[in-house]
Chain A
Amino acid sequence: MKRQLPFFLVFVFGAFMAIQYFVPHKTSEAIYEFFIDILPIIGVFALALGIWSLTKVSVDKIRYRRENWQYAIFTLLGLFLMILFGFTDENWGFHWRMSPEVAGEGTDNPNFRLLFNYVMIPIQATMFALLAFFIASASYRAFRARNLLATLLLIAALILMLRFTPFFGDWIGLRLSETATWLMNVPNTAAQRAIVMGVGLGLVATALKVVLGIERDYMGRG
């Protein structure tokens, strides 16, 4: 009941979703549409679970004065401010409506947008921009022409990088933009296709293992 029934249900739902593709019947399609509709709804409950977990971890960190506990205060502050703005309007009222008259509620709340634009976006964009420095040091190691394979890697990368550089973009005679487009459209397509086929086979095999109950770790122990 605690373990075997859920695995049986995984098999039933998995087999149904796979088989329904071959059954173009109204009922089968309606059940398929229904499942597709409700999956994201359950996902929102999973998000709530994540929020609760984050709150609990942060509160415990503060309560038991664990290492770097002071920073957990800011996690909770950001979390609750964003939730507060997300469920109120600009006058701090919760109307439980989404009409244009109460514009500014939920995701339209100006304070919610301010936190998004001036806190979330700068940090997120800078974190990705930070990778430019790490990727530069990685390319120093990767782009050394030690042998034929490394040289091929170097040349392809150089063509692509120079193509996007305004100064070299279309350097006389080299036709960098044309060469870069060809590299992306022809050899890149070929190799990506080979990789995608391998990945696809792996994913299909994993899905089969899950449906048939060979892979069971995701359900946890106990």
Chain B
Amino acid sequence: MRRSTLIGGSLVVVFFLAAWLIKGAGASGESPYYSAFLITLAAFLTLAVFSFLYADNPVYKFAEHLFVGVSAAYWMVLGFWQTLVPNLIPRISRALSEQLELEYIDELWNVLYVIPVVLGILLLLRLSRKLGWLSRYAVAFIVGTTAGLNFIAYTRSNFMAQISSTFLPLVGDWTSWAAFVDNLSLSATGPLALLMANIVVVLGVVCGLIYFFFSREHSGTFGMASRLGIWILMITFGASFGYTVMGRISLLVGRMTFLLRDWLGIIAS
């Protein structure tokens, strides 16, 4: 490790130790130093990640590596307690269910629940050089069932449901001109506004699909439709981008609020 890294690291540690002690001294409650330590730790990790804006540095790398370990274990523990225990134990063992105080599900087909355990063990055999090929049976089950499921699910949700939702009325009931133009706003509750919205949706879908159709040259009427398609796509990309920017900004505001209010106490709660 370089000398400058050691000096920098020591300064960071001293700074946050001082911050902890100052915050602990000023805090009230049952265990002020303990809660001050936790808040200072969270603040340190927050600033450690922000330090990446300057450059990739040891403090950032520390936070990054710690996060990898903690989050991997978090999902593992969650998977064990929330998936494995409630879905498997009440099916395979009455004694274990009683010990875990879970309701035993007494069904004829419970013996089949040994299959996921066997497949899971086969999956773990991937770690063995000799028997690693056995894990392919578990992978075959996972991939086969998921692919079969996706085949139907995506045909229904991404294809058929989208097409049927695009069959919108492009003409409306005519009673009078006044009723037709009534409540004409972008909120789209009046008949004309609704019709206009429907026309934009139908045209947008058709022209958007034409833009993605590359088996024919985009010229003439086809080219015009394709151009309209790309306009609608650009509006969508702009809207989505703006939405994402604001989402990230609100996260940034959240972290700043934590630093300035919860840690430093500069802004009022």
Tell which of B14-22, B123-131, B174-182 binds the partner.
B123-131
Cα-based distance from A81 to B70 in the complex (angstroms)? 8
In the complex, the answer to whether B245 meets A193 with C-beta atoms within 8 Å is no
Inter-subunit contact A54/B241 (CB<8 Å): no
With A49-B124, A183-B235, A185-B197 already in contact, the answer to whether A78 and B70 are too (CB < 8 A) is yes
CB contacts between A and B, total, < 8 Å: 412
**Is A122 at the interface (CB under 8 A from chain B)?**
yes
The answer to whether B209 and A194 have CB atoms under 8 Å apart is: yes
Q: Hey, which chain B residues are within 8 Å of A35, CB to CB?
A: 145
In the docked arrangement, what's the CA distance between A107 and B3, Å?
Answer: 41
Chain B residues near A164 (CB, 8 Å)? 246, 250
CB-defined contacts of B28 to chain A, threshold 8 Å: none
Query: Contact between A51 and B158 (Cβ–Cβ < 8 Å)?
Result: no
Q: Is the CB of A123 within 8 A of B84?
A: no
B73 partner, pick from A80, A117, A156, A194, beta carbons under 8 A: A80
Q: On chain B, which size bracket covers the interface?
A: 35 or more
Query: When the two chains form their complex, are residues B109 and A207 in contact, meaning their CB atoms are under 8 A apart?
Result: no
- Name the residue of chain B whose CB is nearest to the CB of A116: B74
Q: Chain A: interface residue count, which band?
A: 35 or more
A77, B69: Cβ atoms under 8 Å?
yes
Hey, which chain B residues are within 8 Å of A21, CB to CB? 152
Cα–Cα distance between A211 and B151 once the two chains are bound (Å): 9
A175 shortest CB reach to chain B, Å: 7
Query: Considering the chains assembled together, what is the distance between the CA atoms of A200 and B156 in angstroms?
Result: 9
Partner of B124, one of A34, A45, A87, A150: A45
CA distance A21 to B153 in the complex (A): 10
Chain A interfacial positions (CB closer than 8 Å to B): 2-3, 5-7, 9-18, 21, 30, 34-35, 37-52, 54, 58, 68, 70-72, 74-83, 86-87, 96-99, 106-107, 112, 114-133, 135-136, 139, 142, 148-150, 152-161, 164, 175, 178-201, 203-204, 206-208, 210-211, 218-220, 222
Q: Which residues of B contact A (CB under 8 A)?
A: 1, 38-39, 41-43, 45-46, 48-50, 52-53, 61-85, 87-88, 99-102, 109, 112-113, 115-117, 119-121, 123-124, 126-127, 133, 136-152, 154-155, 157-159, 162-163, 165-166, 185-188, 197, 200-205, 207-209, 211-212, 229-246, 248-252, 254-255, 258
